[in-house]
């Protein structure tokens, strides 16, 4: 099975593969068909290399059929594993290997599992898969101390999923030296949101509601206005309070509006999770 993903080294492609290590590290397994333990090492290598998602290349050298090539490397025993980087051998190990021993060797020269997860999460952000990326980035933020790349990626997810208050709080923690074009772009989006979400109509309704806090009609109208300008958290806050007083307010429209806002926010949204629990506790 390993031969499907590994480059089989020979005299013709040897130089090309070594040169390839200038861009992507290459791990070479020296093996022989007559030695089962070398096949086992190849299978372990295939599994480990696959988990690095293209950041390392696997090559195998059959030392029985390619004796001339094997002699160039000075291999004295099988199995032997060697790691090439920038055209030079940088590490290696002789004898049977476990998955742990191979991972420990590669870990000294390749990105960690957390770095791989971060790369994948940032790719999700670039692909606008904000709901999927956000929980992963939150978890990674606890492992990478004060990493502005992660902070800005989380902030982008928050802005794009209408969690503006948390985004603003988070952006305030970004150090001056890391306030790059992405930071400025997110701040601009926050400013546009503020301008759009503070219309004269909303301000008038807020004044009315402040004067009549028990008026459910005003509360509902204000909640609807908030939802239309992506002030979801404030809308849901009002709607939950309203539903606590009258679950069937406006012939069920208040409940329907609440559920529509929650659905629009999506499953991975922290605000949605918070208010979904409150709504379910009222309904059941």
Count the domains in the chain: 3
Residues 89, 15 within the same domain: yes
Residue 242 lies in domain: 200-283
Domain of residue 252, CATH code: 1.25.40.10
Residues 103, 24 within the same domain: yes
Residues 10, 81 within the same domain: yes
Domain of residue 96, CATH code: 3.40.30.10
pLDDT category at 2 given cuts 50, 70, 90 is very low
Whole-number Å distance between alpha carbons of 16 and 7: 11
pLDDT (tens digit per residue) in 3-56: 347 899 999 999 999 999 999 999 999 999 999 999 999 999 999 999 887 889
Its pTM stands at 0.58
Residues 86, 54 within the same domain: yes
Whole-number Å distance between alpha carbons of 161 and 165: 11
pLDDT (tens digit per residue) in 179-207: 999 999 999 999 988 887 888 889 999 99
């Amino acid at each position: 099975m390993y031969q499907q993903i590994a480059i089989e080294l020979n005299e013709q492609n040897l130089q090309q593969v070594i040169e390839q290590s200038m861009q992507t590290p290459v791990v070479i397994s020296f093996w022989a068909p007559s030695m089962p333990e070398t096949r086992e090492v190849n299978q372990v290598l295939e599994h480990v290399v696959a988990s690095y998602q293209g950041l390392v290349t696997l090559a195998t050298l059959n030392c029985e059929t390619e004796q001339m090539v094997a002699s160039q490397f000075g291999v004295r025993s099988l199995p032997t594993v060697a790691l090439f980087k920038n055209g030079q051998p940088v590490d290696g190990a002789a004898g049977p290997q476990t998955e742990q021993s191979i991972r420990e060797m590669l870990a000294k020269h390749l990105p960690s599992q957390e770095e791989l997860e971060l790369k994948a999460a940032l790719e999700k952000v670039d692909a606008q898969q904000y709901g999927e990326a956000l929980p992963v980035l939150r978890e990674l933020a606890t492992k990478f101390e004060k990493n502005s790349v992660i902070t800005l990626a989380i902030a982008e997810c928050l802005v794009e999923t209408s969690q503006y208050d948390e985004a603003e709080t988070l952006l305030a923690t970004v150090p001056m030296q890391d306030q790059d074009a992405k930071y400025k772009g997110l701040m601009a989006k926050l400013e546009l949101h503020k301008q759009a979400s503070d219309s004269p109509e909303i301000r008038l309704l807020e004044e009315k509601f402040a004067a009549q806090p028990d008026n459910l009609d005003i509360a509902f109208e204000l909640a609807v206005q908030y939802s239309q300008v992506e002030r979801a958290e404030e809308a849901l806050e009002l709607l939950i309070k309203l539903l606590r007083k009258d679950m069937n307010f406006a012939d069920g429209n208040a409940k329907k509006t609440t559920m529509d806002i929650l659905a629009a926010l999506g499953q991975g949204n922290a605000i949605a999770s918070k208010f979904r629990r409150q709504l379910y506790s009222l309904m059941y």
